[in-house]
């Protein structure tokens, strides 16, 4: 057994777009490379960044799978491709389905991290009729289990840590690796997502909240008001820190007039239209968590009456 | 007796999964097949969704050029509905796309291309220590600095569109938001910061001074005078690695053009066009078709127009070796990317480099790291324009249900990207995407012509089959993006369903 003082990390890309890798490259202060070195994490392999030869990579994988080389952290980006017909051959590595390699690596890793919504819950290509038949590592949409099964525990006795987001916010990965590298526990909440990043809703911290408060709701793009009632914004029903830890350190989609598409949710990208809010009697079908519809309606009507002119001025 | 081997090389530091299957005879590549090993089925995911959903779905095709897919999706919907966006929206769109492309060019050069020179393959090269100091993965001083700068330029996209990657701020009729004057001036500072880093470290002179270098001689003189720049180091390493001699495929180039004129959005300031066997022609979209003769599709219509593209799997098609279709332009295999963009636009320096050395791996990669010299000037112009026009309308269209068809043509970092959409009563009936990597990494066609990088590999000497560095240089000089290859997969056995032969 080769001993490693540093923690080792292997990054596997499966059915995905590389967007999570691109997103974590945007980590700032420290930058991603300094971050790994500060936490003493050795990146054994990242497909976009490593320069070892393919023969060295083959050798490395053999050693890891045989338990001769320690694997502390396995990060998986992209969903597990099961198609066609359960063969997994729509996504291969060295002629074999990549899901087989993933299964082997998951058995020897101390911690398994699902990076992004596709790896966590299935994401793109995970719906009935989608060719690739993608599933999440340990969860498929709302159902526990996924590829590894609901009883799976990593060598350290942990279930898969889900870091959804399309793409992942760099802070979500940073916060988890901060804890893992320091041997601190990662407290998981709903859907096995770490509370440290996923406890807040996207709505919290949105600069359009005052408009939301007074029901100043927009019907079209390019305005300053809230997008919850008509434009499909899922900020109040989606858990992520987009508006508390800003994207690229400067902004968020909702602040820039783009509705939250609920990309950290288990059912993203649900087949219903993105830019429309499903409603009942003019009120969103999906209300913020734990809210009583009758009280909500009463509150919204009164709030609209109380709305100050400075917020309403664009409304005819 | 010639020693003949077949080798399957998984190639990393490309976006997505790529295998190159090569036959090597006496150390020289005699046959090459490009195999995307990941199928994603995005075109089918789009069918039946409401038209605007393409603004959310298509950026997810590619994490590295998500804004580009967004632009193409919007371009196609605007084309179908005959919508012209307002000038201020055009400036902010230009800035979004330029920033993403600048980011991509810099990351590809520093993180994906230069790292090869720190591989043990070059341990006896005179530059090995220097290259390791500057470009070693995760550690190299220049690579780390370049990574930081790319996060800066992406702040421009985030200021305008909320985040990068995967935002949807560009919408038919304009953009979704009005950045404040404070935000626009901050964006301007970010752009100036990148310009200053790029001038000092990559070029060795100002953008203006560099634009006056038009001949090979004056370029080489500039490199001698500025030996401690990234382009000078790259040129020294390239000379040693013989990148001036390898990787040539053809003199057929395709560019859709980019940077829209805010006052006349249909005009592209970096112009569109094709070069066929060295001769410029105006772009004629109707000459684009996809050849499926070597692909696993029903051979009823071997040459398909994109609007009528059908995806009917048929494992019995005898010549098939891939699910990738082969896009062609008037029967020609085209290469696309920064070099094509520069040549089509009449760039003097790259034209003279191409005249002298051809479309070798060196010139193709150099074109990529020189492109920000052009793009940053347009970014500077557009942010200034946006600040001067602050307060102008940036959205002019209400969303309406419609029927029709449209095409969106955009220059991605990797080259020509096209979206073809047909909408019926507000829903997507058919969506076809032809990516730059589909052009560059296509399979053979009916006439037996290999795809661009397949052809570039033929005749290449491969010194160490365990570490085929030359192949890596040649293919990476095209900056492949396999995650974009929306319908590519390898299935080689013609008899048995779902039996795949990938490997030796």
**pLDDT tens column, B204-227:** 999 999 999 999 999 999 999 999
User: Which residues, in sequence order, are CB contacts of B279 under 8 Å at separation 6+?
Assistant: none
Cβ of B45 within 8 Å of Cβ of A263? The answer is no
Count CB atoms within 10 A of the CB of residue A5.
6
Cβ of B163 within 8 Å of Cβ of A130? The answer is no
Q: Considering only CA atoms, give the Rg of chain A.
A: 21
Cβ of B163 within 8 Å of Cβ of A84? The answer is no
Give the model's confidence band at B4: pLDDT under 50 very low, under 70 low, under 90 confident, else very high.
confident
Q: Does residue A176 contact residue A113 with C-beta atoms inside 8 Å?
A: yes
Q: With beta carbons under 8 A apart, name residues in chain B contacting A24.
A: none
Output the pLDDT for position B318.
Answer: 75
Output the pLDDT for position A92.
Answer: 82
Output the pLDDT for position B45.
Answer: 87
Section B138-147 average pLDDT: 96
Tokens 């777009």 correspond to: A17
- Is residue A72 scored above 80 in pLDDT? yes
Q: Which fold has domain A7-196?
A: Rossmann fold (3.40.50)
- Model confidence pLDDT, tens digit, residues A96-132: 899 999 999 999 999 999 999 999 999 999 999 888 8
Output the pLDDT for position A56.
Answer: 92
Residue A38 touches partner B, C-beta closer than 8 Å: no
Residue A10 touches partner B, C-beta closer than 8 Å: no
Output the pLDDT for position A103.
Answer: 98
Output the pLDDT for position B15.
Answer: 62
Residue A296 touches partner B, C-beta closer than 8 Å: no
Write out the two tokens for B271.
Answer: 């112009």
Residue A277 touches partner B, C-beta closer than 8 Å: no
Cβ of A19 within 8 Å of Cβ of B165? The answer is yes
CA gap B48, B237 in Å, rounded: 51
Write out the two tokens for A179.
Answer: 């804890």
User: Between B150, B163, B398, which is nearest A220 by CB?
Assistant: B398
Q: With beta carbons under 8 A apart, name residues in chain B contacting A261.
A: 56, 168
Measured over the CA atoms of residue B471, residue A16, residue A191 and residue A240, the dihedral's sign is: positive
Q: With beta carbons under 8 A apart, name residues in chain A contacting B64.
A: 18-19, 22
The nearest CA of chain A is from the CA of B62 a distance in Å of 5
**A150: burial class by Cβ within 10 Å (0-12, 13-18, 19+)?**
exposed
Residue B28 touches partner A, C-beta closer than 8 Å: no
Output the pLDDT for position B195.
Answer: 98
- Model confidence pLDDT, tens digit, residues B401-454: 899 999 999 999 999 999 999 999 999 999 999 999 889 999 999 999 999 999
Domain regions of chain A by residue span: 7-196, 200-316
Select the more confidently predicted residue: A92 or A3: A92
Q: Does residue B322 contact residue B489 with C-beta atoms inside 8 Å?
A: yes
Cβ of A34 within 8 Å of Cβ of B16? The answer is no
Cβ of A258 within 8 Å of Cβ of B45? The answer is no
A 202-261 residues with CB < 8 A to B: 220-222, 224, 242, 246-258, 261
- Is residue B311 scored above 90 in pLDDT? no
CA gap A162, A165 in Å, rounded: 10
Output the pLDDT for position B417.
Answer: 96
Q: With beta carbons under 8 A apart, name residues in chain B contacting A269.
A: 56-57, 60
CATH of A200-316, one of 3.50.50.60, 3.30.365.10, 3.40.1310.30, 4.10.480.10: 4.10.480.10
User: Between A33, A253, A274, which is nearest B52 by CB?
Assistant: A274
- Is residue B498 scored above 50 in pLDDT? no
- Counting residues of chain B whose pLDDT is more than 90, the rounded percentage is 75
Q: Where are the alpha helices (DSSP H) in chain A?
A: 19-24, 32-38, 54-65, 98-108, 117-121, 170-181, 195-198, 209-213, 293-306, 309-312
A 50-89 residues with CB < 8 A to B: 50-55, 57, 81, 83-85, 87, 89
Q: Does residue A16 contact residue A119 with C-beta atoms inside 8 Å?
A: yes
Q: With beta carbons under 8 A apart, name residues in chain B contacting A23.
A: 63, 165
Write out the two tokens for A228.
Answer: 């919850």
CA gap B291, B312 in Å, rounded: 14
How far, rounded to the nearest angstrom, does the alpha carbon of residue A130 sit from its chain's CA centroid?
20
Mutate one of A61, A258, A260 to test the B interface: name it (highest B CB count within 10 A): A258
Section A292-296 average pLDDT: 94
Q: Does residue B96 contact residue A248 with C-beta atoms inside 8 Å?
A: no
Cβ of B13 within 8 Å of Cβ of A49? The answer is yes
Output the pLDDT for position A1.
Answer: 44
Mutate one of A164, A221, A240, A245 to test the B interface: name it (highest B CB count within 10 A): A221
Residue A15 touches partner B, C-beta closer than 8 Å: yes
Q: With beta carbons under 8 A apart, name residues in chain B contacting A9.
A: none
Cβ of B138 within 8 Å of Cβ of A37? The answer is yes
Closest chain A residue to the Cα of B490, Cα to Cα: A90
The nearest CA of chain A is from the CA of B219 a distance in Å of 30
Residue A33 touches partner B, C-beta closer than 8 Å: yes
Give the model's confidence band at B317: pLDDT under 50 very low, under 70 low, under 90 confident, else very high.
low
- Is residue B230 scored above 50 in pLDDT? yes
Output the pLDDT for position B312.
Answer: 66
Q: Of the ranges A81-85, A218-222, B264-268, B463-467, which is most confident?
A: B264-268
Closest chain A residue to the Cα of B114, Cα to Cα: A51
**B139: burial class by Cβ within 10 Å (0-12, 13-18, 19+)?**
middle
Q: With beta carbons under 8 A apart, name residues in chain A contacting B398.
A: 220
Output the pLDDT for position B488.
Answer: 30
- Is residue B38 scored above 80 in pLDDT? no
- Model confidence pLDDT, tens digit, residues B82-109: 999 999 999 999 999 999 999 999 999 9
B79-93, B115-129, B199-213, B312-326: least confident range: B312-326
């Amino acid at each position: 057994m080769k001993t490693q003082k540093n923690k080792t990390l292997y990054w596997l890309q499966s059915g995905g777009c590389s967007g999570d890798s691109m997103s974590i490259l945007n980590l700032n202060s420290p930058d991603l490379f300094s971050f790994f070195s500060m936490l003493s994490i050795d990146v054994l392999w990242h497909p976009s960044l490593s320069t070892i030869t393919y023969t060295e990579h083959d050798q490395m994988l053999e050693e890891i799978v045989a338990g001769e080389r320690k694997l502390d952290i396995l990060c998986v980006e992209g969903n597990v491709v099961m198609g066609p017909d359960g063969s997994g051959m729509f996504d291969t590595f060295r002629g074999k389905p990549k899901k087989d390699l993933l299964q082997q690596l998951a058995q020897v890793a101390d911690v398994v991290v699902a990076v992004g919504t596709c790896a966590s819950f299935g994401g793109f290509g995970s719906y009935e009729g989608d060719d690739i038949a993608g599933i999440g590592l340990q969860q498929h949409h709302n159902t526990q289990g996924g590829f590894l099964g609901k009883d799976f525990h990593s060598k350290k006795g942990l279930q898969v840590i889900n870091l959804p987001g399309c793409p992942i916010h760099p802070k979500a990965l940073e916060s988890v690796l901060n804890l893992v590298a320091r041997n601190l526990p990662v407290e998981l909440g709903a859907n096995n997502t770490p509370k440290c990043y996923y406890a807040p809703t996207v709505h919290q911290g949105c600069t359009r909240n005052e408009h939301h408060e007074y029901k100043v709701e927009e019907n079209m793009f390019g305005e300053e008001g809230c997008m919850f009632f008509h434009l499909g914004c899922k900020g109040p029903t989606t858990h992520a820190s987009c508006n508390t830890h800003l994207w690229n350190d400067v902004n968020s989609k909702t602040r820039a007039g783009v509705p939250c598409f609920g990309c950290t949710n288990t059912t993203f990208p649900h087949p219903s239209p993105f830019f429309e809010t499903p409603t009942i009697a003019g009120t969103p079908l999906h209300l913020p968590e734990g809210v009583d519809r009758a009280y909500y309606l009463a509150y919204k009507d009164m709030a609209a009456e109380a709305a100050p002119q400075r917020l309403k001025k664009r409304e005819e | 007796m010639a020693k003949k081997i077949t080798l399957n090389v998984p190639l990393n530091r490309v976006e997505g999964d790529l295998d190159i299957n090569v036959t090597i005879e006496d150390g020289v590549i005699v046959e090459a097949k490009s195999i995307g090993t990941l199928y994603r089925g995005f075109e089918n995911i789009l069918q039946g969704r409401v038209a605007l959903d393409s603004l959310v779905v298509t950026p997810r095709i590619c994490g590295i050029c998500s804004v580009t897919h967004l632009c193409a999706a919007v371009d196609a919907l605007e084309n179908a509905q005959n919508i012209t966006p307002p000038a201020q929206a055009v400036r902010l769109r230009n800035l979004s796309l330029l920033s993403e492309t600048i980011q991509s060019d810099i990351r590809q050069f520093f993180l994906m291309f230069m790292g090869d020179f720190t591989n043990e393959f070059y341990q006896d090269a005179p530059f090995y220590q220097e290259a390791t100091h500057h470009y070693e993965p995760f550690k190299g001083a220049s690579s780390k600095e370049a990574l930081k700068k790319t996060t800066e330029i992406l702040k421009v996209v985030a200021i305008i569109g909320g985040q990068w990657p995967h935002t949807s701020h560009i919408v038919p009729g304009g953009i979704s938001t009005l950045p404040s004057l404070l935000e626009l001036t901050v964006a301007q500072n970010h752009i100036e910061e990148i310009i200053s880093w790029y001038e000092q470290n990559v070029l060795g002179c100002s953008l203006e001074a560099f634009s006056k270098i038009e001949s090979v001689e004056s370029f080489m003189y500039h490199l001698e005078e500025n030996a401690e720049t990234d382009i000078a180091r790259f040129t020294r390493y390239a000379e040693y690695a013989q990148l001036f001699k390898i990787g040539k495929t053809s003199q057929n180039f395709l560019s859709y053009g980019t940077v829209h004129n805010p006052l006349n959005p249909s005009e592209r300031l970096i112009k569109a066009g094709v070069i066929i066997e060295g001769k410029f022609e105006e772009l004629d979209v109707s000459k684009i078709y996809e050849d499926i003769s070597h692909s696993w599709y029903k051979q009823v219509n071997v040459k398909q127009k994109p609007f009528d593209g059908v995806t009917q799997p048929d494992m019995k098609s005898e010549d098939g070796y891939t699910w990738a279709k082969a896009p062609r332009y008037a029967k020609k295999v085209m290469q696309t990317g920064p070099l094509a963009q520069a040549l089509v636009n009449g760039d003097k320096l790259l034209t003279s480099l191409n005249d002298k050395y051809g479309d070798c791996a060196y010139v193709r990669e150099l074109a990529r790291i020189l492109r920000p010299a052009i793009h940053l000037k347009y970014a500077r112009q557009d942010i200034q324009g946006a600040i001067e026009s602050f307060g102008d309308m940036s959205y002019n269209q209400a969303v309406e249900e419609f029927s029709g068809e449209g095409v969106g043509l955009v220059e991605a970092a990797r080259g020509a990207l096209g979206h073809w959409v047909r909408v019926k009563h507000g829903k997507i009936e058919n969506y076809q995407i032809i990516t730059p990597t589909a052009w560059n990494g296509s399979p053979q066609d009916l006439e037996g012509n290999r795809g661009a990088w397949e052809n570039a590999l033929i005749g290449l000497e491969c010194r160490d089959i365990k570490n085929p560095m030359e192949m890596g240089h040649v293919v990476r000089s095209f900056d492949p993006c396999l995650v974009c290859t929306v319908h590519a997969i390898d299935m080689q056995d013609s008899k048995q369903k779902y039996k795949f032969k990938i490997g030796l």
